[in-house]
Structure 1
Amino acid sequence: MNALLYISVILIWGTTWFAIYLQQGVVAVTVSIFYRFLLASLLMMVVLLIARRLRKLALKDHIYCVAQGCCVFAFNFYCFYHAAAYISSGLESVIFSMSVLFNAFNGMLFFRQKMSPALIPASILGLVGIVTLFWHDLSANHVAPELLKGIGLSMLGTYGFSLGNMISTRHKKHGLDVVSTNTYAMGYGAAVMALLSLAQGASFAIEWTSAYVGSLVYLAVFGSVLGFGMYFSLVGRIGASQAAYSTLLFPLVALTVSTFYEGYQWHTNAVIGLGLILLGNLVMFYRPRWLSEWKKTKPALS
């Protein structure tokens, strides 16, 4: 069962990036995000109500859910959807894997967690990997501003996602039900995007094509409801650290899809850059068995 959940999470979240690419078109980005998380939050709400698992929250906790919705289910995707117009969806997923490093940094910043000895070498590998990955385009005589926009928006969206993870950590520390807080946060994220759409005068008309509607349903049902549900189930079964290893494989799936459907061109520097980024994430996660055993058995200081 654990293996099935693990593979499912990798395949679903590895392919959502291409679905985001398919959302590009006449519908405003804010409207697409609104419909995605409106549908997802309504489905989650119905499921939790039927299962009698929806938990009530205090007003203060709802305020934090609004902030979480802005970070994880609104403005970060606003960045990702716009970035998809400038770089391939596969490259977006590679940059998103840097959330592991952002989480470690923000954990120190907001919760005063001790800095992992692996943070600095992992960060260096990640940053060098990103430069190497895009070196073919960055070394051109005239660097396209669109490329830099795509990289910058993807990095900004990834950092926003990490901030949302910190709020989720806060929920957990206060004993709140993670599934309930995520459901509320999805709804608040959808509401924020609706307000922004109204402020921009965007049309809420849907593009009734198979590509747009299909990708919207896939993102809402599979990417949001099933994806998050299976991931948190996996966290409960094997632990957060082991479940997080799945982020190492998202980019491989996304880049494979991007190669076949977006015409992504592989270069030597792209292979090296991808390897460095994945290695950086692996360094961040890796804990030698002998070190874990030593921590369990080492004598306490008198």
Structure 2
Amino acid sequence: MNETAVPRERLRFSDPRAFVPFVLVALIWGSTWLVIKDQISVVPPSWTIAYRFLVASVVIVLVLKVRGQRLRVSRRAWPVVIIVGVTQFVMNFHFVYRSEATLTSGIVALFFALIMIPNSLLARVVLGERVSKGFVFGSAIAIAGVALLLAQEYRAAGASDGVMLGVLFAILATVSASIANVTQATDRAHDEPFMPLLAASIIVGTLVNVVLALMLDGPPVWDSRPSYLGGIAYLGIIGSILTFPLYFMLIRNMGAGRAAYIAVATPILAMLLSSLFEGYDWTPLAVGGSLLSLTGLVIALKARH
């Protein structure tokens, strides 16, 4: 193994190396869903995503220079770079932005918490990690809760087909991110220095995003609103360069299934922000669905994998 590679170990949440990144990522990602909602403006999602990761690419290259690391990965690692770059930084975000065009940000965040299910199932197939009956039971409860929330969204939108399209995009976003998560936990990913691997993945994703934006929406479009500009900076630097290294380190050190614990905390803050800024209507159906979802997530994640 490369001497600079991240050591493989399984950390408990009581360990500061797991607890501190967990709290930071949950707080930041809990807020990014609302910022993404504001990014849906006159600028097509394709260009907004491209701007976000152009900023992220510049910043992560500067971080590598400060750390004294080179932007270099082995030839053997390029499949990992391409898979993570395309699934995490292209497909995932394209589907998320389109999902939020029809669903409230808090609902998308809570729906995305179900990433633990494909994470664990893919980890079972790819990495041989065990899936327990308790995990299956808790996952079923969480899915039932999300179904209630989606029923609430469907009613609020007047039985609009847009809600169902938003659900489809949310599912595709979750599966895309899950593929990237599990790829980060493979032996091939472990054998590479972490930050250069992440930087290469972000740069690959950025190039693909720019090409897609040109193909789908033509020349660049810009929004001069301060909130839009601030959102690009926040999502590109704080929501990407600060959090993705922390999150992928958790995946490496805890496993793809257990790292999904963060999905329980993130939507709680996202739902609170949605209530404050989007006027989310907390009907009995919505309250019941939220409680059922979070209960199922806790049961599933407390079960041994």
With normalisation by structure 1, the TM-score equals 0.86
My pick for the range that moved more, 33-42 or 214-223, is 33-42
Deviation at 1:253, TM superposition (A): 0.5
Deviation per CA, 1:189-246: give whole Å up to 9, x if none.
Answer: 111111111222423132111111011111011100112244456678x845776433
Instruction: Tell me, in whole angstroms, the C-alpha distance in 1 between the residues paired with 2:217 and 2:254.
Output: 45
Selected match of 1:227 from 219, 231, 243: 243
Deviation per CA, 1:234-282: give whole Å up to 9, x if none.
Answer: 678x845776433211111001111111111111111221122222221
Instruction: Say if 1:13 and 1:141 are closer, same or farther in 2 by CA, change over 3 A.
Output: closer
Instruction: Say if 1:233 and 1:189 are closer, same or farther in 2 by CA, change over 3 A.
Output: closer
Q: Are the equivalent residues in 1 in contact too, given 2:135–2:301 (CA < 8 A)?
A: no
| Structure 2 spans left out of the alignment, 5+ residues | 1-15
Deviation at 1:137, TM superposition (A): 4.3
Confirm whether residue 272 of structure 1 aligns to residue 288 of structure 2.
Answer: yes
Deviation at 1:19, TM superposition (A): 0.9
Matches within 5 A, 1:1-302: 5-54=21-70, 56-138=72-154, 143-170=159-186, 174-231=190-247, 239=254, 244-287=260-303
Instruction: Tell me, in whole angstroms, the C-alpha distance in 2 between the residues paired with 1:108 and 1:233.
Output: 20
Tell me which amino acid in the other structure corresponds to 1:93.
A
Instruction: Say if 1:4 and 1:123 are closer, same or farther in 2 by CA, change over 3 A.
Output: closer
Q: Are the equivalent residues in 1 in contact too, given 2:25–2:243 (CA < 8 A)?
A: yes
Deviation at 1:32, TM superposition (A): 0.9
Tell me which amino acid in the other structure corresponds to 1:122.
G
For these two proteins, the number of residue pairs brought into alignment is 288
Secondary structure at 1:253's aligned position in 2? Answer: helix
Instruction: Tell me, in whole angstroms, the C-alpha distance in 1 between the residues paired with 2:217 and 2:131.
Output: 45
Tell me which amino acid in the other structure corresponds to 2:92.
N
Q: Are the equivalent residues in 1 in contact too, given 2:46–2:94 (CA < 8 A)?
A: yes
Instruction: Tell me, in whole angstroms, the C-alpha distance in 2 between the residues paired with 1:233 and 1:159.
Output: 20
RMSD: 2.5
Instruction: Tell me, in whole angstroms, the C-alpha distance in 2 between the residues paired with 1:141 and 1:55.
Output: 47
Instruction: Tell me, in whole angstroms, the C-alpha distance in 2 between the residues paired with 1:48 and 1:223.
Output: 18
Structure of larger gyration radius: 1
Q: Are the equivalent residues in 1 in contact too, given 2:223–2:229 (CA < 8 A)?
A: yes
Secondary structure at 2:293's aligned position in 1? Answer: helix
Tell me which amino acid in the other structure corresponds to 1:279.
T
Tell me which amino acid in the other structure corresponds to 1:267.
T
Report percent identity of matched pairs. Answer: 25
Secondary structure at 1:63's aligned position in 2? Answer: helix
My pick for the range that moved more, 119-128 or 137-146, is 137-146
| Structure 1 spans left out of the alignment, 5+ residues | 293-302
Instruction: Tell me, in whole angstroms, the C-alpha distance in 1 between the residues paired with 2:189 and 2:202.
Output: 20
Instruction: Say if 1:114 and 1:230 are closer, same or farther in 2 by CA, change over 3 A.
Output: closer
Instruction: Tell me, in whole angstroms, the C-alpha distance in 1 between the residues paired with 2:301 and 2:141.
Output: 13
Instruction: Tell me, in whole angstroms, the C-alpha distance in 1 between the residues paired with 2:269 and 2:179.
Output: 25
With normalisation by structure 2, the TM-score equals 0.85
Deviation at 1:7, TM superposition (A): 3.1
Q: Are the equivalent residues in 2 in contact too, given 1:90–1:255 (CA < 8 A)?
A: yes
Tell me which amino acid in the other structure corresponds to 1:62.
W
Q: Are the equivalent residues in 2 in contact too, given 1:106–1:166 (CA < 8 A)?
A: yes
Instruction: Say if 1:64 and 1:173 are closer, same or farther in 2 by CA, change over 3 A.
Output: closer
